[in-house]
Structure 1
Amino acid sequence: MTQDLLARIDQRTRLAGHNRLALLLFRLGGRQLFGVNVFKVQEVLRRPCLFRVPGLPEQFAGVADVRGRSVPVLDLGRAIGHPERQDDGLPGYLVVTEFNRSVQGFLVGGVERIVNIAVEDIQPPPDLGAEAGYLTAVTRHQDELIQVIDVESVLADISQARMDADLPPEYALPADAPPMQVLVVDDSRVARQQIRSVLDQLGVGVTLLSDGRQALDHLVQIHAGGERPAERYAMIVSDIEMPAMDGYTLTTEIRRNPALADLFVLLHTSLSGVFNTSMVQSVGADAFVAKYSPHDLAEHVLRRLREVAATVGMRLSEPA
């Protein structure tokens, strides 16, 4: 089964830009079905030998040697407090992932299959407070509820990763730069906090939305109110993999709409391992940066904001 899964993972990367999401489905020892974006998955293995490493948080089962590389392995059921988790009755599977420029493993009870879900059928998770903080979306397949796990948030909560990163003084706009706003679109709570921290330090106003459909509706409403969206927002920073509407489709819809077409779009995604540069170009994005480096993000944002500031300054200096 594992070999078949791996063969199909490569095929699923062709879904990018078609507003569909491929999910690897798995269970954590009970009946509940979970999913993770298959673009983040490098491979699926039967549970290998795990080695304990001093200092690892208790939610980590240890470290695995995967093709000569030491990969930290998180017991996903324990990490999210799943009541039906497989409490080391062994064997289980190891899902090896790559995102945010790093490789990590997740120990799960059983791997099911890969499914192809229309993005419009993927909904934001119910508002259940902190208990559902690990969910990024929910959907259904063959009458089964699928909970899509925000693995970035799970890891960040366990490691108590700082959401902020101090930028050096040179990462700054000119003192006389006009006030500017940036629209941030990302379904991950952790990612939104990280991006906001960078933009706050740059002194930029921020609007946060959690999926492409919300963003598109928001921009259309701004235009309907008599304001040019490109004058309100100096740029859009958008994730690619999101429920309701992915970043590729959002960018395509922006370029198709004459009222929105002049917006600057920066795509910002954790899927650097399988990222397709030609896809970004084909949908009309202006730039791309892989998650998550606060300095790389700040450099891309500043480059655009300085362009906007210079343009506004030129307009202000023009004779009436």
Structure 2
Amino acid sequence: MAGILDSVNQRTQLVGQNRLELLLFKLNGRQRYGINVFKVREVLQCPPLTVMPRLNSYVKGIAHIRGQTISVIDMSLATGGRPIKKLEDCFIIITEYNRTIQGFLVDSVERIVNLNWGSVMPPPKGSGRFNYLTAVTEIDNELIEILDVEKILEEIAPSSTIVSDGIVTDTEMQSDLGDRIILITDDSSVARNQVKRALEGLGLPIEAKKNGKEALDYLVEVAASCEHSVTEKIGLLISDVEMPEMDGYTLTAEVKSRPKLADLHVILHTSLSGVFNHAMVEKVGADDFIAKFNPDELAGAVQKWLHTD
């Protein structure tokens, strides 16, 4: 199992082609779940865990792996299920999200599958605000649930959305934006709300969409009412990378290839990590790349690009 990600560095060529690869796993029961391979650093048999006082109830314990101390989260318990038993038979998926490293305890790990984002759909309507899904897809005639890991981590360790004093000038940002709005797109409700709270706290009006396709459709609609460019009504686009139907790289490439949209500045704001992200920023024509979630860095980038013609 340790070798399941040996070729992960070669997989970066998928980025920017509206494709992804999912690592499939199970918790308790037959349902299969997925997590993006680019978030995964390692998969290993569950090592002995050290139980520490005052840990969050979702945290099973602490593991010492390759010189690092890593919190191990029971993914079943964290998503409302039964706790995972028989740890010696289980696996840990070591991931990197939002500049932090953590382990997720799962019952079993299966395989990696290659998909087009177009075949990955938003969760069904009516699934409720308390679900932990960002998307679903079908593999081997079975529904695969893609979990909202950012929501799990936010519930364990909430992020601050307050921009520090002196980082930006509110009045200058509002002056640069004028009557325009800022468009954000992210499939995670937690991530959308983080950005909204940070920027609305600076007095900036926000429009939010759930994926790249929704954002592109909205931009095309707005551009149709503009004389020259969509920038007459929209000051900036802040986009996640991983999204169902259309990812952020594809969205950026579409924006930059359309005459009425091409002048719009695009900031990619993502929990993905790795040098390939910076290469893709240049490849698809994005103006900036920021790792989630630091409200000061986000506000600084927004101020920079609002002030840049």
Tell me the TM-score normalised to structure 1 length: 0.90
**Distance in 1 (alpha carbons) for counterparts of 2:57 and 2:199:** 34
- Residue of structure 2 in register with 1:292 after alignment: 293
Tell me if 1:215 matches 2:215: yes
| 1:165 aligned to which of 150, 162, 168 | 162
Of the structure 1 ranges 67-76 and 200-209, higher mean CA displacement relative to structure 2 is found in 200-209
SS of residue in 2 equivalent to 1:183: strand
| Contact kept in structure 2, 1:212 and 1:242, CA below 8 Å | yes
After the TM superposition, which residues 160-239 of structure 1 pair with which residues of structure 2 at under 5 Å, given as runs?
161-162=158-159, 164-174=161-171, 177=175, 178-226=178-226, 228-239=229-240
Using the alignment, how far apart are the partners of 2:258 and 2:133 within structure 1?
32
The structural deviation recorded for 1:129 is: 1.1
After superposition, what is the alpha-carbon deviation per residue over 1:195-231, rounded to whole angstroms, capped at 9, x for unaligned?
Answer: 1112112211100011100011111111223453211
Gaps of 5+ in 1: 309-320
1:248-298 alpha-carbon deviations (Å, 9 max, x no partner): 100111111111111111111111235432211011111111111111111
| Structure 1 equivalent of residue 153 of structure 2 | 155
d(CA) in 2 for partners of 1:246, 1:44: 25
- Give 1:236 shift: 0.3
Q: Deviations over 1:102-146 (max 9, x none)?
A: 1000000000001011111000012311341x1010001111110
Moved beyond 6 Å, runs of 4+: none
Give the Cα separation in 2 of the matches to 1:269 and 1:131.
Answer: 22
Counterparts of 1:284 and 1:35, CA distance in 2 = 29
1:104 corresponds to which residue?
102
Instruction: Quote the residue 1:17 is aligned against.
Output: 16
Query: 1:8: Cα distance to partner?
Result: 3.3
Residue 266 of structure 2 aligns with which residue?
265
Cα distance in 1 for residues equivalent to 2:160 and 2:208: 15
Equivalent residue of 1:124, what SS?
Answer: coil
Q: CA RMSD in A?
A: 1.7
Residue in structure 2 matched with residue 316 of structure 1 by the alignment? none
Q: Match for residue 76 of structure 1? A: 75
| 1:45 CA drift (Å) | 0.4
Q: Please give the alpha-carbon distance, in whole angstroms, between the structure 2 residues aligned to 1:267 and 1:234.
A: 15
Paired residues of 1:46 and 1:93 also in contact (CA < 8 A): yes
Q: Which amino acid letter does the alignment assign opposite residue 164 of structure 1?
A: T
What is the aligned-residue identity percentage?
A: 44
Q: Confirm or deny: 8 A CA contact 1:29 1:110 kept in the other structure.
A: no
Cα distance, 1:299 vs structure 2: 0.6
C-alpha distance after superposition, 1:38-86 (max 9, x if no partner): 1000000001110011111111110110101000000000111225x63
Aligned length in residues: 304
User: What are the within-5 Å matches in structure 2 for residues 27-176 of structure 1?
Assistant: 27-82=26-81, 86-88=84-86, 90-127=88-125, 128-132=127-131, 134-159=132-157, 161-162=158-159, 164-174=161-171
Look up the match of 1:8. Answer: 7
Q: Would you say the 8 A contact 1:97–1:104 is kept in 2? A: yes
Letter in 1 for 2:161: D
2:47 & 2:60 partners in 1: Cα distance? 11
> Which protein has the larger Cα radius of gyration, Structure 1 or Structure 2?
1
Secondary structure of residue in 1 paired with 2:184: strand
Q: Does 1:247 align with 2:248?
A: yes
Partner of 1:314: none
| 2:214 partner amino acid | Q
TM-score (norm 2): 0.93
Unaligned runs of 5+ in 2: none
